[in-house]
Amino acid sequence: MTINYKSLAINGVQNLQPYMPGKPIDELERELGVSNTLKLASNENPMGPSPLVLEALDKAKASIQLYPDGNGFILKQKLSNMLKVNQNQITLGNGSNDVLDMIARTFLCEGREAIYSRYAFAVYPISIQSVNATGVVAEALPVDHETNPYGHDLTAMKDLINDKTRVIFIANPNNPTGTWLKSDELHEFISAVPKDIIVVVDEAYFEYVQEGEYPDTLQWLEEFPNLIVTRTFSKIYALAGLRVGYAVCSAEIADLLNRVRHPFNVNAMAIEAATAALNDQDHLENCVDINTKGIKFWRAACQYRGLDYIPTVGNFITIDMEQNAVPLYEAMLKEAVIVRPIPNYGLPNHLRITISTAEENQRCLDALDVALEQYPID
């Protein structure tokens, strides 16, 4: 008897699109016969982590036969001092994706709904559907909206709230669009959400944002006991390969998240590395500075070429190629530069490019120019 195993999976899993990872660099280089490939496809920090992180890792490797501290005490202590919250308000994750999953396992199940925006981060539907809950997509602001095109439409999100709604996911700024919500509008939105609905504000790019009106959400935790803020060490702290992120929320909700958290979810190297990373403010400021210059570089480059881009405050920029972007992506690959086409987000004409150092930005732009020669924009 042949069994259709897909039919045995829970409905939410059957309906999930498999996440398409990029090819490993080594493999790509062999296929294309190129070397020294520049990867600007996953919003990783080109500067790498602080030297303090490498030192901490060197020390930590002596003890990897031991289980990590299941509570991540040293990291929570550091975060708690830095963020001015209590340790019992922090939940550590194996990347912030792990925290998103814990939120879904804690508050969602079959018959319950979670709202997120069109073009929002791809992990939300994975977390929602893997517990058989229903994801409800709010239309984004229209392309010609004068502020925040492609951004979260908070009114549309609010209108989707009903008795079954348990969680709302907001990415601020969002990946892959780079769009962001100002303090006033986000505060007004959360105020209007019933307190028995969890609002998750995903701030993976928090440290990069230089806008004065960007919200200081941790200040709102007392006012909004239903608010969960998530952040990560994968982006500006350059620890994507180690997997560490965290949530900050009320102690009551943190207690629930920690009940579903797997006991040793954050590994020993990651705990040490993340703790050390927080000690190097100079490195962080340098990375912000380079990114801010990079945003200006790409803005100017797009304007000069007549390319429409979505205004960004993160470490990536998403550009409208006014045609299927995959051939351009492939032409850039031949120049040994990897960027990200995002048809999986319903944006088949856009390329998302990670912002890097001056030299790497230029190399990427040169590759884009080569690609645009083959596929000109009329």
Ligand X SMILES: *Cc1c(COP(=O)(O)O)cnc(C)c1O
Which candidate, 190, 202, 210, places its Cα nearest to that of 311?
210
Interacting span for ligand X (CB under 6 A) from 82-90, 229-237, 303-311, 364-372: 229-237
337 in Cβ contact with 353 (< 8 Å): no
Q: Which of residues 12-51 bind ligand X (CB under 6 A)?
A: 43
* Complex with ligand X: residue 96 or 148, whichever CB lies closer: 96
Q: In degrees to the nearest 10, what's the CA dihedral of 233, 19, 103, 244?
A: -20
Spatial separation of the C-alpha atoms in residues 91 and 87, rounded to whole Å: 9
Decide: is 171 part of the binding site for ligand X (CB under 6 A): yes
* Shortest spacing between CB 11 and ligand X, in angstroms: 25
Decide: is 284 part of the binding site for ligand X (CB under 6 A): no
Decide: is 91 part of the binding site for ligand X (CB under 6 A): no
The DSSP output letter for 261 is S
Interacting span for ligand X (CB under 6 A) from 93-101, 283-291, 298-306, 363-371: 93-101
339 in Cβ contact with 278 (< 8 Å): no
Using CB under 6 A, pick the residue from 12, 49, 151, 245 that binds ligand X: 245
Using CB under 6 A, pick the residue from 50, 148, 179, 232 that binds ligand X: 232
Instruction: Give Cβ neighbours of residue 157 (< 8 Å, ≥ 6 apart).
Output: 115, 117, 138, 168, 170, 189
* Complex with ligand X: residue 96 or 129, whichever CB lies closer: 96
Interacting span for ligand X (CB under 6 A) from 13-21, 60-68, 181-189, 234-242: 234-242
Spatial separation of the C-alpha atoms in residues 92 and 75, rounded to whole Å: 9
The first and second tokens of residue 154, run together, are 């908070």
Interacting span for ligand X (CB under 6 A) from 58-66, 228-236, 335-343, 346-354: 228-236
Residue nearest to ligand X (CB): 95
Decide: is 354 part of the binding site for ligand X (CB under 6 A): no
* Complex with ligand X: residue 246 or 309, whichever CB lies closer: 246
* Shortest spacing between CB 33 and ligand X, in angstroms: 31
Spatial separation of the C-alpha atoms in residues 47 and 247, rounded to whole Å: 25
Site string (123-152) toward ligand X, x via CB under 6 A: ------------------------------
The first and second tokens of residue 289, run together, are 């500075």
Give the chain's length: 378
Partners of residue 94 on adjacent β-strands: none
Using CB under 6 A, pick the residue from 97, 165, 291, 318 that binds ligand X: 97
Using CB under 6 A, pick the residue from 95, 125, 135, 151 that binds ligand X: 95
238 in Cβ contact with 44 (< 8 Å): yes
